[in-house]
């Protein structure tokens, strides 16, 4: 399917009801738009950490103002394989500057495990957390989908232990479009469910400094 044809289909769907738009959002990436691009994804399992690695991670966590880490697959009733991975951090010295956050993100959408689909990865440029909810944005630095490299995308995560939820900035428009106008730390509500047993996300609460006068 050509990209122009795909755009016409997306435009026509966006004129339907709000629930239809959300359904488009959950499509995430249109696999046909990246025909022939096979992408290897994580197995989704939570990796085992050695004691020294766990200790080092805890020390790093303590030096941070906020963090969003982990990888997991989204719940689907179809064969689709959708994986999000985050490694976002805000140093304590930048507590009041969430736009100083650093790290990486990656998302992959395959038609089936090990199958064909689309992917993108990039660098984090903003991170804010409140309790166990995180909102982050980043710039896409590489992708097999045309026209989205250099664009900003947003993510949201609700860390609920084994029942995490995920959201993304293109939820109501069908897919990332390469926009550079998305404000930092902007995303949709975390409406997607994580598939049980495929991974976990960890959110470190942000304790901002409130004004005193």
For residue range 106-126, what is the model confidence (pLDDT) as tens digits? 999 999 999 999 999 999 999
H-helix or E-strand spanning residue 66: strand 64-73
Instruction: Kindly state the average pLDDT of the residues 41-64.
Output: 49
User: How far apart, in whole angstroms, are the C-alpha atoms of residue 119 and residue 106?
Assistant: 8
pLDDT band at 18 (very low <50, low <70, confident <90, very high): very low
SS3 (DSSP) at 177: coil
Q: Check pLDDT > 80 for residue 14.
A: no
Contact in structure between 149 and 143 (CB atoms under 8 Å): yes
Q: In terms of pLDDT, which residue wins out, 146 or 162?
A: 146
User: How far apart, in whole angstroms, are the C-alpha atoms of residue 204 and residue 62?
Assistant: 9
Specify the pLDDT at position 47.
Answer: 41
Among left, alpha and beta (phi > 0; psi -120 to 50; other), residue 185 is left
pLDDT band at 208 (very low <50, low <70, confident <90, very high): confident
pLDDT band at 30 (very low <50, low <70, confident <90, very high): very low
Instruction: Kindly state the average pLDDT of the residues 133-145.
Output: 98
Instruction: List all residues 6 or more positions away from 193 whose beta carbon is below 8 Å from its beta carbon.
Output: 74, 75, 163, 165
């Amino acid at each position: 399917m050509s990209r122009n044809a795909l755009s016409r289909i997306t435009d026509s769907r966006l004129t339907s009801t709000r629930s239809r738009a959300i359904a488009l959002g959950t499509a995430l990436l249109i696999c046909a738009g990246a025909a022939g691009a096979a992408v290897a994804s994580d197995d989704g399992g939570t990796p085992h950490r050695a004691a020294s690695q766990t200790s080092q991670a805890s020390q790093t966590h303590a030096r941070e103002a906020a963090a969003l880490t982990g990888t997991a697959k989204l719940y689907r009733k179809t064969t689709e394989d959708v994986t999000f991975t985050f490694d976002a951090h805000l140093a304590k010295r930048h507590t009041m500057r969430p736009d100083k956050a650093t790290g990486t993100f990656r998302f992959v959408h395959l038609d089936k495990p090990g199958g064909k689909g689309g992917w993108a990865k990039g660098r984090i440029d903003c991170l804010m957390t409140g309790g166990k909810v995180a909102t982050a944005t980043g710039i896409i630095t590489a992708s097999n989908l045309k026209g989205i490299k250099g664009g900003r995308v947003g993510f949201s995560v609700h860390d609920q232990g084994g029942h995490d939820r995920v959201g993304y900035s293109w939820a109501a428009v069908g897919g990332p479009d390469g926009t550079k106008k998305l404000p930092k730390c902007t995303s949709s509500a975390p409406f997607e469910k994580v598939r049980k047993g495929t991974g976990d996300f960890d959110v470190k609460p942000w304790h901002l400094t409130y004004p005193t006068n």
